[in-house]
Chain A
């Protein structure tokens, strides 16, 4: 193999900033095809670095805790959780909505930004698509665990069964099954389609026979033919177009689970847009929480430049404002409706027994993100990481507030009860984080975590990488 002598260099641009002081580079200077290939494709081919093992072991232990919690749940039933009547929807549904929300940033980055020709998706789309897949896995498990008899979960699917029953297609809970199922399938296809050419790159760079064989198997014999690229690109674009309405529809359907019910605090038309904005908000926060450490550990600063972090922070700021507006409208509509139950729900939410949770939510989701107005914080990975953690926690608390405070005081005061999570609730929540992180760690270990072919395209067209 002779040296890559004539590859274009990105040396014609140096680190630059926009007039407002934002970083504009999508690639560091002096990147060639070979540096890009080497930086990304050699990670799965080489032994894992120390921090990977530390992270993976912690994640794996959390996953084992999850399995313990789930096994005990299957043995004893949902009574081991803190749920009761009226709070029949406890942590499982809170976790479900939280995880589905986190998934949304991946699709937003990979599909919507692709259709809008935003080149700053290139270095983060693979990560976030993987994040989408794993978050949907965690999300999909939650309602199944919440079923009293999870082993008959397939009753949710329409199939000609011997009882001659069908799912009730007028119920939002059945819509959910289709929405989440479609979302997972489309995300998986989209992710794998984009991955095939990169697996071929890893195959061609692999030195060990077993590595060559494994990657060759998954690369499906991809040979970079122009005719193949053409169909691949069209299929990719069409899948992006198909995934785009999914970003908006999946969380809208999830919000219908609430807003179609006549529960004060749920029955609201603001729910679909407010849920979708919150989903993208938490998804970007989770992406930052993953991208920032990975960028550091694998020295990917040349490919994931500060501009990515800055842009992601900007999106969080915008969606955070939409979410804050949603909180405001919820309170306003409660007052404006003149309905005593709505008004009472809102007062109880802010000043009742769960008031402190509500104000923690305001701190995490409304107050802390305002720091993102500062360009210095947007460009500081450590501070950005901390802000993103606040938002992730805040979005989980938001779903807690929506689910629990709306339910725990039913119409007649005889139907009032408090919800206290048990240790099994907490183990399921943190265990699902373990499942998510374990999958994420395996992904960054074995799969090229940045799209190599798209990054090579950026190298070939440096002017694209350097525009605002």
Chain B
């Protein structure tokens, strides 16, 4: 089975895809993914997808904030202290704006880069791109792909299972 990536079922509405995803999950499939031209509410959860992105963003933000304050304190109080009007060199209220800005900056950079890294993007090629109909996943069609690496995958049985979900078409995706 190494030359096949999976079986791709095409649906015409988000509801049909949701239904198919729920059925497939109930049937015990795990190595699968849905494809839709916009985020379908509840679909990732129905497919059993989880993500840790918010935690990473929180960590990024904390590092940014602490790093910014440390930098300001080190620069203005330790490395090059200047007495300005007798104010303390570690004048924390003046350090807040930059601490805030760098918290936002680091959290934002983490959100952006981590979301792509966890998604495995950029990835110029993917087996699904060899299916001409798959161009419509970004336009007006909804797809469910059950991958061959799923332990429950069986070429004929899985095809029969997808068939009873009433898809518009079923395509075998070559690796």
Contact = CB atoms under 8 A, between A and B. Distances in A.
Contacts of B84: 168, 170
B153 interface: no
Nearest to A170: B94
Interface in A170-224: 170, 172, 174-175, 178-179, 181-182, 185-186, 189-190, 192-193, 197, 200-201, 203-205, 216-217, 220-224
B129 interface: yes
B101 A182 contact: yes
B137 interface: yes
Contacts of B82: 168
B59 interface: no
Given A178-B102, A221-B125, A453 B80 contact: no
Nearest to B116: A220
Interface string B1-44: 00000000000111000000100000000000111111110011
A189 to B, nearest CB: 4
B47 A227 contact: yes
Interface string A26-46: 000000111001000000000
B158 interface: no
Contact of B14 (A193, A216, A453, A460): A460
Contact of B39 (A6, A170, A192, A232): A232
Contacts of A170: 76, 84, 87, 91, 94-95
Interface stretch (A61-69, A87-95, A158-166, A367-375): A158-166
Contact of B38 (A1, A204, A238, A454): A454
Interface residues on B, range: 35 or more
B146 to A, nearest CB: 13
Considering residues B116, B119, B125, which has the most beta carbons from chain A within 10 angstroms of its beta carbon? B119
Contacts of B124: 216-217, 221
Interface string A260-272: 0000000000000
Interface stretch (A242-250, A308-316, A418-426): A242-250
A189 B112 contact: yes
Given A221-B125, A226-B36, A456-B38, A186 B138 contact: no
Interface in A226-244: 226-235, 238-239, 242-243
B39 A457 contact: yes
Contacts of A231: 51, 53, 115, 118-119
B126 to A, nearest CB: 6
A226 B118 contact: no
Interface string B81-100: 01010010001001101101
B47 to A, nearest CB: 6
Nearest to A37: B139
Given A220-B122, A245-B100, A185 B108 contact: yes
The majority secondary structure among interface residues of chain B is helix
Given A169-B75, A169-B98, A453-B38, A224 B44 contact: no
B36 A34 contact: no
Interface string A1-31: 1001111100000000000000000000000
Contact of B76 (A166, A200, A226): A166
A253 interface: yes
Interface in B105-139: 105, 107-109, 111-112, 114-116, 118-119, 121-126, 128-129, 134-139
Given A158-B71, A200-B138, 13 more contacts: A34-B139, A166-B76, A169-B76, A175-B101, A197-B38, A222-B121, A225-B35, A228-B119, A231-B51, A232-B115, A238-B53, A242-B108, A249-B97
Interface of A: 1, 4-8, 32-34, 37, 158, 164-170, 172, 174-175, 178-179, 181-182, 185-186, 189-190, 192-193, 197, 200-201, 203-205, 216-217, 220-235, 238-239, 242-243, 245-246, 249, 253, 256, 453-454, 456-457, 460
28 contacts: A33-B37, A33-B139, A33-B140, A34-B140, A164-B80, A166-B76, A167-B75, A168-B76, A169-B95, A179-B97, A182-B105, A185-B109, A189-B109, A201-B37, A203-B138, A221-B126, A223-B126, A226-B40, A229-B38, A234-B51, A234-B54, A238-B53, A238-B57, A239-B108, A239-B111, A245-B100, A253-B97, A460-B38
